[in-house]
Structure 1
Amino acid sequence: MNFLVLFNWASPEPELLLELTTIIKAFLNHPDRSNLSIFIDYDQFPGQEADLYVSGVMMNLMIEGNEQLEDALNISLVSSQNFEEWFNSILKINYKILGNNVNKSQLNEWSDIIPIVTLEQVTDLEKYEFLSTINEQQKNFKLQLTQQCFNAQRFVESAELGKQLLSDYPDLVEKGYSIPVAHSLILSLNWYEVAANLPPGINYFLTSGWLNSLYQRKPVTQDNQPLPWYTYPAIEFLEDKVKPDFKVFEFGAGNSTLWWSQRVSEVISIENDANWFEEIKAKMPKNVQIFLREDEQEYAEMISSFPSDYFDVIIVDGANRNRCLEISLNHIKERGLIIFDNTDDYNYDSSVQKLANEGYKRLDFWGIISSYTYKNCTSLFFRKFDILESQGVPSQKQSILGKGCFQVMNPKPSPTQDN
């Protein structure tokens, strides 16, 4: 077991030496000392002086004839001034012990999350036995440490910690924790090195923003522009069909709301999750009206407060979807478009069939989505075939998700090049 020990190095020398002696001696006399390691943090203190203090304590104990010195105690001096060495030490730590008068400023975002124990908990064998077991406190700490590694883009370390967590705590597999571990494994690959070995601009995982979305855990492009959580093929198709005067109603608010707001005149969005509503409402521009309806029936009926045949686009991508679709049919224009996400879920088969019975044609867009490794199906429903009219040729397509392979490798010459 590994302990990070912090002292107030500004303490008077006699007090500091007494503290060092007490802690080191306690570990030396511990019956499980061969399985213990101490990492002494000397941050904001000269390393040579810290080493002299520790060496002096060990020398004094030797002079006193402390027989336990015959068995080595693993003591390391660490400081965030040498961050990589310090960081690699932190990954091994289980608990921290705080000396007298240690203040909050001595802790950083990494050392702050390490569980605190007292020296008495280490020396009391019954309490020590609990510390040495796989316990909930260690589980929560390692989960937090893994997340901080991920946030800091230390994906290799995040993946290794995650794999160890899954081994130590099998219940995490049932809770779906293996998915973020898989994401860390994907991101731990040097994708920029991969891209460097490909023709510039054709690594779709980078240019589409998929890797960035995996890291950010939300649908965004490579340069952090918002995206709907539809399949990528559906987004690429819709880009050319959206018109500035469109009025849009959306069941389920989020980054998709922002994406639509940048392209149409009016967006009405309804959300049923109060916490998510509070998080996103301040981000919405003036052409968005966003409403909270936590009751699922009220949520579905919200669209009824708008006139018939009012919306050019209705998106069904939130709660109570089958009921939302049923009520929406009176509010879509004759030439309007209904977007129904996740139609690969059999729970929505009744809505797909209802739209077919109402004379709607369907286009299914299967493909990968932002932030995840799997594919979904986003379906578009329409009665008039205007939506299928092509604008321009594929070689001139401009997409927020990047260029196609031949657009990059064999671009059309500009008029000046022709001359």
Structure 2
Amino acid sequence: MRDTVLRMSKSAYVSGMKTLGSGLRALHVLDDAPPPRTARTKHWFYSLTRVYDPQAMIKMDVPWWTYDAIDAVETWLKGREQARIFEYGSGASSLWLARRAGEVHSVEHHEGFYEYMRPSFEAQDNLSVELVEPEVSDHPVVPSQKEGQSGLDFADYVAAIDRAGGTFDLVVVDGRARGASLAHAVQRLAPDGLVVFDNSRRARYRPAIESSGLRERRCTGLTPTLPYGEQTSLLSPV
């Protein structure tokens, strides 16, 4: 019952914000084009009317992390135009990263989302996205702690970084089975590399972060499309 109420509330919010955005654009209160990200409050307010719209986020040129994390990673990538990146969880962030790095490999677990985004992915020459759906299992080797994901094994998904091979300057952990993904990321991270771990304030992720052996910088605050504060952590070798 609780899950049903939450889904209905989320659906109503998304629908309401998109309707509001259409109305504000019709009244010329909002422009069709997003404001620059340097005008953070305006950019954030505009983004609220584009919630769950990855194509709009591509146009806004933002990943789905906190603004402070976005700014920090963009600064970190400057001078690293040939950076090699691996990403757990594809989307607008995949395009954002590919515009700023030499090579981006991403893994996606959801076939419907992958097919929806596929034309955008394939238009970016230095981006490769692998679809790896979880396997149904009574005894998952790598389970996900997310609600509704029980009985699914993400072992092959998590191992995608090993199939890509080599080391990575930047690894983004923003998909499923994040604890196991982080453990694999640490093994593939360049000595001076960086891990972006999104939604890091969630209690189920804290043990993996705290036992990773990496130094944590917490970036909290506004996030594109979200009406509440969030946290993205930047993890680096000690």
TM-score by length of 1: 0.44
Aligned to 2:86: 249
CA contact (8 A) 2:20 2:49 kept: no
Structure 2 counterparts to residues 326-337 of structure 1, below 5 A: 326-337=183-194
Is 1:293 aligned with 2:98? no
CA contact (8 A) 2:14 2:51 kept: no
Aligned to 2:144: none
Structure in which a larger fraction of residues adopt strand: 2
CA contact (8 A) 2:179 2:209 kept: no
CA contact (8 A) 2:217 2:235 kept: yes
SS at match of 1:371: coil
- Aligned residue pairs total 204
Cα distance, 1:350–1:181 mapped onto 2, change above 3 Å: same
Cα distance, 1:319–1:238 mapped onto 2, change above 3 Å: same
Aligned to 1:346: 203
User: What is the distance in 2 between the residues matched to 1:352 and 1:338?
Assistant: 10
User: What is the distance in 2 between the residues matched to 1:286 and 1:193?
Assistant: 37
Deviation, structure 1 residue 216: 5.8
Aligned to 1:283: 120
SS at match of 1:365: strand
- Of 208, 222, 231 in structure 2, the residue corresponding to residue 368 of structure 1 is 222
Query: Which amino acid is 1:252 matched to?
Result: G
- Of 5, 9, 17 in structure 2, the residue corresponding to residue 183 of structure 1 is 17
Aligned to 1:304: 162
CA contact (8 A) 2:64 2:223 kept: yes
Aligned to 2:235: 381
For CA contacts below 8 A with separation 6 or more, give which structure has more relative contact order: 2
Cα distance, 1:314–1:173 mapped onto 2, change above 3 Å: closer
Give unmatched runs, 5+ long, in structure 1. 1-170, 196-200, 385-419
Structure 2 counterparts to residues 202-213 of structure 1, below 5 A: 204-206=40-42, 208=43, 210-212=45-47
SS at match of 2:76: coil
Cα distance, 1:332–1:180 mapped onto 2, change above 3 Å: same
Query: Which amino acid is 1:371 matched to?
Result: T
Aligned-residue CA RMSD (Å): 3.0
Question: What do residues 281-318 of structure 1 show as CA deviations (whole Å, max 9, x unaligned)?
Answer: 2212111111011021100011112445x100000000
Question: What do residues 66-92 of structure 1 show as CA deviations (whole Å, max 9, x unaligned)?
Answer: xxxxxxxxxxxxxxxxxxxxxxxxxxx
Is 1:319 aligned with 2:154? no
TM-score by length of 2: 0.75
User: What is the distance in 1 between the residues matched to 2:228 and 2:156?
Assistant: 32
CA contact (8 A) 2:17 2:51 kept: no
Aligned to 1:239: 74
User: What is the distance in 1 between the residues matched to 2:5 and 2:156?
Assistant: 36
Give unmatched runs, 5+ long, in structure 2. 32-36, 135-153
- Of 93, 103, 125 in structure 2, the residue corresponding to residue 266 of structure 1 is 103
User: What is the distance in 2 between the residues matched to 1:313 and 1:255?
Assistant: 16
Cα distance, 1:290–1:194 mapped onto 2, change above 3 Å: closer
Structure 2 counterparts to residues 54-65 of structure 1, below 5 A: none
Identical aligned pairs, as a percentage?
A: 22
User: What is the distance in 2 between the residues matched to 1:288 and 1:348?
Assistant: 27
User: What is the distance in 1 between the residues matched to 2:94 and 2:6?
Assistant: 33
Cα distance, 1:194–1:306 mapped onto 2, change above 3 Å: closer
CA contact (8 A) 1:342 1:377 kept: yes
Deviation, structure 1 residue 326: 1.1
Structure in which a larger fraction of residues adopt helix: 1
User: What is the distance in 2 between the residues matched to 1:202 and 1:333?
Assistant: 30
User: What is the distance in 2 between the residues matched to 1:235 and 1:268?
Assistant: 19
